[in-house]
A = this chain, B = another copy of it.
Amino acid sequence: MASERIIIGIGDDTAAWRGSELVQLATIDSLIEDVHFRFSWCSWEDLGHKSLAVNLSDIAAMGGHALYALVALSCPSTVDSDDVVSYYRGMTQLALEHDVVIVGGNLTTSPMVTSTVAIVGEIRPDRLMTRSSAQPGDVIAVTGVLGGAAAALALLESDGGSPLKVPDHLLDSLVRPHVRLHESQVMAGLGVRCAIDISDGLLGDLEHICARSSVSATIYSAQVPHVVDDEIPADQQTMLALTGGENYELLFVCAPSLLEPVAAALNCPVTIIGEIGACSDSPAIVVRDARGMPVKIDRPGWRHFAP
């Protein structure tokens, strides 16, 4: 239990806990009002949940166990203290689910809300999953169903930001993403050595794997598990699944023989969507449709400073 190792929690200059000789993992991520979320469709409780979730998802991408979180919240001085309480409630509920302890916080004024969380986790050295371990001949697979968050965002932004017409299951995947921490620990334990969480979009994140592993990849678009909803035109569902960000499902790469035991051990959909090839000149990734024809992709995923 992470809590049993704590020596000093919130209330001193730093938190303090008993260390271990396992590999230590750490990451940081910010969510910014009107850049990453709007309060018209994301409640304070959602924001607390999501701020922790996006960091937990990074720990999941390594196969690790999340332990301790530090939270820096900045918001206008006019914000109601109940809203700050709601934020911490959303975060604490998710933290409890995953045995994560919030050990430090920083609260400051700011013209608009910025929520930054850093998290420390750990993992056995032989379990580490990295972006650099893909090999030609490996299969590419994903957990869950892709495109829900992007579909919700598309509906919200086309509808002036009102969440009323967005189906709950889509909105939930945007503001309350499920984190595949347990699933990643299982796959890491079974021998998977290459994974990434889908935060930038499937193709964007696969690009990271190709670059760090010096490999190429082929994706079969018809196999990509996409969200199905009457609100989303059929032809857009696959494209949202290929390029939509903030998904937080796991994209992983492993030897074909590993796929069956992994799929059998996980309590979520696991789908093969492509395969890794040798290093190639650009493009590193080719997407093929059901007839084997190359699919043209406009914009692979989330980019900082996008126009």
Residues of chain A having any CB pair with chain B under 8 Å: 7-8, 11-30, 32, 34-36, 58-59, 61-62, 64, 68, 70-72, 74, 77, 103-112, 114, 116, 118, 120-123, 125, 128, 130-132, 196-197, 212, 304-305
Contacts and interface: CB of A to CB of B under 8 A. Distances in A.
19 contacts: A12-B130, A12-B212, A13-B59, A14-B58, A14-B121, A15-B27, A18-B125, A19-B23, A19-B24, A24-B120, A26-B70, A28-B71, A28-B104, A28-B118, A30-B114, A32-B110, A35-B108, A109-B304, A111-B112
For the complex formed by this chain, how many copies does it contain in all?
2
Nearest to A130: B12
A21 B21 contact: yes
Given A70-B118, A305-B77, A13 B62 contact: yes
A-B residue pairs, 10 tightest by C-beta: A118-B118, A13-B61, A28-B70, A14-B27, A14-B25, A13-B58, A116-B116, A19-B24, A77-B305, A30-B72
Given A21-B21, A62-B13, A30 B122 contact: no
A172 B108 CA distance: 23
A57 to B, nearest CB: 8
Nearest to A61: B13
Given A110-B114, A121-B14, A7 B23 contact: yes
A27 to B, nearest CB: 4
Nearest to A5: B24
A110 B30 CA distance: 10
Nearest to A305: B77
The secondary structure that dominates the A interface is strand
Nearest to A129: B13
Nearest to A35: B109
Nearest to A58: B13
Contacts of A25: 14-16
Given A8-B130, A110-B114, A120-B120, 7 more contacts: A11-B131, A11-B212, A15-B25, A18-B24, A26-B103, A27-B104, A32-B108
B108 A62 contact: no
A116 B28 contact: yes
A196 B105 CA distance: 17
B26 A128 contact: no
A14 B26 contact: yes
B16 A128 contact: yes
Contact of A62 (B16, B24, B30, B196): B16
Contacts of A114: 30, 32, 74, 110, 114, 116
A19 B17 contact: no
A72 to B, nearest CB: 5
Contacts of A20: 19, 21
Between A26, A34, A71, the greatest number of chain B beta carbons within 10 A of the residue's beta carbon is seen for A26
Nearest to A109: B35
